[in-house]
């Protein structure tokens, strides 16, 4: 089997299966083999660690070379987990201080952040629009579309879980076929199937994959309210508008919608993962 | 008479259901204060964007409950941008409801509406005054039952007015009109 060296939304589920990481038992996470990671891999990993922390007082993340450590600090992965995770080897205080001084200054990244209070969300979204438009030089409509998608997903983490348990991260990448924005939102809550089963008006489903397929239909929601159940439906429409990709992961299932290619792929793993993990990639529009 | 509320005073970027609570209360108060046949205009001048949660909570819930909670009161939106219009249209389509937009002295429908009802609405807006079911039947070349059905539907959706009147022969009839352009 090939060794996974990139932790992204594409590889996250395979990687944790390969590493035999379970969100109810593992407490040592070895990242030493990784050479590249993106919000689509790190945000769900941060959610996984937060879930593990409910049962394990000491979670250890093993890091390798300095370059990898630098990225984990600058991406916010370190600071969002520093209270619940021990990083080995320890990151030098001088290095952390250096990043602290430059915090928020990276023009291509929004650090991984906990989504704490719903009341703070409008302010965070206004800031997000401003960063996307003026720091990342994205077009106004692209910035609004991204913020709308983020808003709907963040609200889902509040609306469908008993406590705040969401995390978000965003980064702009320069790829060979142009710039794209990757935004990842994860929570360590109840997952899609459990929330949809609370509303008997929803179409019935048996598996996590079917639950995801149900969740993206217009009007399916935990709540019996005709104005609910629009978030994921509109997320796919926003992705289509921006020739983007949406990946939804919940329980044992992962579903990837490649709107640029008009293709949908599904994967099922044997071990179940708590929460919901969503990554949206949009081609940059100016 | 028209009452107006500005959405931009809440913010130019409107996010979340929570944020929709206050403006929705203001809108409900205005709809309660006005009399039958009167209009509340929601002015979106300065509003750059809103998410679908805000739109569902503010516009969607109001549109769905308008004819029941505020019968014979009208709701109109004005000064949308191309972007906000597209998103409001999608929101209303998703909820299978519709709303009047007043743009450049013309009335249009946003949201989901059957082409036959839209055609009837357009006829009323261009007729230059109140119109009867008989006139709709004649101009659209449909039978009187179909004309009445279309008009009743549009009244029920809060998109046109219905007023009692009398014909030249003294018979009681209903006249249908749109809100002022």
Give domain limits for chain A: 6-283
H/E/C letters for each residue in B59-72?
HHHHHHHHHHHCCC
- Buried b / exposed e over B59-75, threshold 16 CB at 10 Å, is bbbbbbebeeebebbbb
Sort strands A59-62 and A85-88 into parallel, antiparallel or unpaired. parallel
CA dist A84 and A12 (Å) reads: 21
pLDDT on residue A24? 65
CA dist B47 and A120 (Å) reads: 20
Q: Which of A129, A148, A226 faces B52 most closely, judged by CB atoms?
A: A148
Domain residue extents for chain B: 1-112, 114-181
CA dist B84 and B8 (Å) reads: 13
> What CATH number does the domain located at B1-112 have?
3.30.750
Structural domain B114-181, CATH architecture? Orthogonal Bundle (1.10)
For chain B, report the end-to-end CA distance as a whole number of angstroms: 13
User: Looking at A42-51, A194-203, B7-16, B172-181, which range is the least confident one?
Assistant: B172-181
Where residue B39 falls among pLDDT bands split at 50, 70, 90?
Answer: very high
Backbone phi, then psi, for B157, in 5-degree steps? -85, 0
The mean per-residue pLDDT over the stretch B151-180 comes to: 90
Q: By the CB < 8 Å criterion, does B15 face chain A?
A: yes
- Is residue B73 over pLDDT 60? yes
pLDDT on residue B112? 93
Q: The tokens of B90 are what?
A: 């999608």
- Is residue B109 over pLDDT 60? yes
Q: By the CB < 8 Å criterion, does A218 face chain B?
A: yes
Angle between helices B115-126 and B133-140 (to 10 degrees): 110
Q: Which of B53, B83, B91 faces A144 most closely, judged by CB atoms?
A: B83
Paired strand residues for B162: B176
Residues of B in contact with A147 (CB under 8 A): 13, 15, 49, 51
DSSP chain A: -PPP-EESTTTHHHHHHHTT--TTT--EEE-TT-SEE-HHHHHHHHHHHHHHTTT-S-EEEE--SHHHHHHHHHTTHHHHHTTTEEEESPPPHHHHHHHHHTTT--TTEEEEEEE--GGGHHHHHHHHHHIIIIIS---HHHHHHHHHHHHHHHHHHHHTSSS--EEEEEEEEEETTEEEEEEEEEE-SS-HHHHHTT-TTSPP--SHHHHHHHHTSTT--SS--TT-S-HHHHHHHHHHHTT-EEEEEEEEEEEEEETTTTEEEEEEEEEEEEEEEEEEEEE---
Name the residue of chain A whose CA is nearest to B90's CA: A234
The mean per-residue pLDDT over the stretch A104-112 comes to: 80
Where residue B97 falls among pLDDT bands split at 50, 70, 90?
Answer: very high
Mutate to test the interface with A, among B15, B21, B56 (most CBs of A within 10 A): B15
How many angstroms separate the Cα of B141 from the Cα of each of B128, B133, B135, B136?
Answer: 19, 12, 9, 8
pLDDT on residue A270? 85
- Is residue A98 over pLDDT 80? no
Average pLDDT, chain B: 95
Q: Which of B18, B61, B91 faces A119 most closely, judged by CB atoms?
A: B18
pLDDT on residue A25? 67
B48 contacts A230? CB cut-off 8 A: no
Residue in the structure block whose two tokens are 């944790």? A16
- Is residue A66 over pLDDT 80? no
pLDDT on residue B26? 98
Residues of A in contact with B11 (CB under 8 A): 122, 126
- Is residue A217 over pLDDT 90? yes
Q: By the CB < 8 Å criterion, does B48 face chain A?
A: yes
Residues of A in contact with B51 (CB under 8 A): 125, 147-148, 151-152
Q: Report whether B30 contacts B40 (CB < 8 A).
A: yes
pTM across the whole model:
0.92
Q: Which of A121, A126, A234 faces B52 most closely, judged by CB atoms?
A: A234
B19 contacts A122? CB cut-off 8 A: yes
pLDDT on residue A1? 53
The mean per-residue pLDDT over the stretch A267-276 comes to: 92
CA angle in degrees (0–180, nearest 5) for A148-A154-A156: 105
The mean per-residue pLDDT over the stretch A230-249 comes to: 95
- Is residue B111 over pLDDT 80? yes
10 Å CB burial of residue B122 (0-12, 13-18, 19+) is middle
| DSSP code, position B95 | T
- Is residue B104 over pLDDT 80? yes
Task: Return the higher-pLDDT residue of A95 and B147.
Answer: B147
- Is residue A26 over pLDDT 90? no
User: Looking at A39-48, A58-67, B10-19, B66-75, which range is the least confident one?
Assistant: A58-67
- Is residue A68 over pLDDT 90? no
Task: Return the higher-pLDDT residue of B179 and B52.
Answer: B52
| CATH (one of 3.30.565.10, 3.50.50.60, 3.30.930.10, 3.40.50.300) for A6-283 | 3.30.565.10
- Is residue A226 over pLDDT 70? yes
The mean per-residue pLDDT over the stretch A247-271 comes to: 95
User: Looking at A26-30, A251-255, A256-260, B132-136, which range is the least confident one?
Assistant: A26-30
Q: By the CB < 8 Å criterion, does B65 face chain A?
A: no
CB pairs under 8 A between A and B: 66
A148 contacts B87? CB cut-off 8 A: yes
- Is residue B167 over pLDDT 90? no
Q: Report whether A18 contacts A49 (CB < 8 A).
A: no
């Amino acid at each position: 089997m090939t060794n996974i060296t990139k932790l992204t939304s594409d590889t996250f589920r395979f990687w944790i299966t390969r590493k035999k990481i379970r969100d109810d038992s593992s407490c040592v996470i070895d990242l030493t083999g990784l050479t590249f990671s993106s919000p689509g891999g790190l945000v769900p990993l941060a959610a996984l660690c937060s879930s593990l922390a409910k049962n394990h007082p000491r979670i250890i993340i093993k890091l390798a070379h300095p370059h990898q450590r630098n990225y984990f600090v600058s991406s916010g992965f370190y600071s969002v987990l520093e209270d619940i995770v021990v990083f080995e080897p320890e990151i030098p205080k001088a290095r952390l201080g250096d990043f602290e001084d430059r915090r928020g200054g990276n023009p291509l990244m929004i650090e991984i952040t906990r989504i704490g209070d719903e009341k703070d969300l409008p302010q965070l979204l206004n800031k997000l629009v401003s960063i996307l438009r003026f720091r990342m030089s994205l077009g106004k409509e692209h910035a609004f579309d991204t913020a709308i998608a983020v808003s709907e997903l963040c609200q889902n983490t509040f609306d469908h879980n008993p406590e705040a348990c969401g995390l978000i991260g965003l980064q702009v990448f320069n790829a060979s076929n142009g710039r794209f924005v990757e935004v990842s939102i994860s929570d360590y809550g109840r997952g899609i199937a459990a929330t949809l089963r609370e509303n008997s008006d929803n179409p019935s489903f048996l598996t996590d994959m079917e639950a995801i397929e149900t969740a993206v239909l217009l009007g399916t929601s935990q709540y019996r309210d005709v104005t609910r159940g629009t978030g994921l439906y509109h997320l796919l429409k926003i992705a289509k508008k921006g020739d983007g990709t949406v990946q939804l992961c919940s329980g044992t299932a992962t579903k990837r919608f490649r709107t640029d290619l008009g293709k949908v792929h599904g994967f099922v793993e044997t071990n179940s993962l708590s929460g919901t993990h969503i990554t949206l990639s949009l081609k940059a529009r100016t | 008479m028209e009452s107006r509320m500005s959405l931009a005073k809440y913010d130019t970027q409107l996010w979340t259901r929570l944020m929709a609570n206050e403006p929705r209360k203001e809108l409900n108060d205005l709809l309660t204060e006005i009399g039958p046949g009167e209009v509340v205009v929601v002015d979106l001048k300065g509003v750059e964007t809103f998410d679908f949660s805000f739109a569902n909570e503010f516009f969607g819930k109001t549109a769905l409950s308008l004819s029941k909670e505020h019968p014979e009161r009208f709701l109109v939106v004005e000064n949308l941008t191309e972007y906000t219009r597209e998103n409001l249209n999608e929101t209303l389509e998703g909820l299978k409801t519709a709303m009047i937009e007043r743009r450049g002295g013309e009335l249009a429908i946003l949201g989901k509406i059957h082409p036959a009802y839209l055609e009837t609405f357009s006829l009323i807006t261009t007729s230059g005054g109140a119109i009867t079911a008989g006139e709709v039947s004649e101009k659209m070349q449909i039978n009187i039952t179909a004309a009445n059905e279309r008009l009743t539907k549009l009244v029920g959706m809060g998109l046109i007015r219905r007023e009692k009147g009398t014909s030249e022969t003294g018979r009681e009839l209903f006249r249908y009109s749109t809100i002022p352009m």
